[in-house]
Chains A and B, each alone.
Chain A
């Protein structure tokens, strides 16, 4: 199975700041990584897929990048509504695997 190592575990930032969340795959997954946002009482939302493709309807302050097996989700100009949990998921091969999650708290 592909192990996804996600960091950091917790993140606190102020509105207007930029933050980055990282996921490292244990082996090559090509570009096939998705990022999800999880908020209480709402369905999980895909933000980015194929490493850097912005899902329709997602604000452009979210972006994804890849360097080999390292993937980064960057949120620029944080908005208060961006708090929540963020997960990466490799969608290159079965079994699909998720990162352990990052909790983003807004100051």
Chain B
């Protein structure tokens, strides 16, 4: 299982920090990865970033690349996403999801999502 957590609401220009706490797999195990995806209310899904078991392997959506930082802590089974300089366009439900590269680069387990609002 995966569970997202975040601040709920933050102000424009602040940095959004999200945490994905998972169980049932390890991000130090070969082939495992975690991705972040977001969905504004009533709209479609947008992939943001992935991180994998091998420390040199992370990927970002170029449309937000200079604002995103993905990281992990294998000792606590957590993955993190930071989005800098947020504005109202970042209002969305944020999901984390598992990738098992032994099967392919798709998301085989998802969290339920955490809603984030940006407001002054």
Contact = CB atoms under 8 A, between A and B. Distances in A.
Nearest to B111: A43
Given A87-B44, A89-B45, A101-B44, A96 B105 contact: yes
Contacts, number: 58
Nearest to A4: B44
Most A CB atoms within 10 A — which of B61, B95, B104, B109?
Answer: B104
Interface in A84-106: 87, 89, 91-92, 94-101
A44 B107 contact: yes
Most A CB atoms within 10 A — which of B35, B59, B105, B109?
Answer: B105
A73 to B, nearest CB: 14
How many A residues are at the interface, by size bracket? 20 to 34
B45 A98 contact: yes
Contacts of A87: 44-45
B112 A91 contact: no
A91 B110 contact: no
Contacts of A45: 110
A85 to B, nearest CB: 9
Contacts of B110: 43-45
Interface of A: 1, 32, 34, 36, 41-46, 49-50, 55, 87, 89, 91-92, 94-101
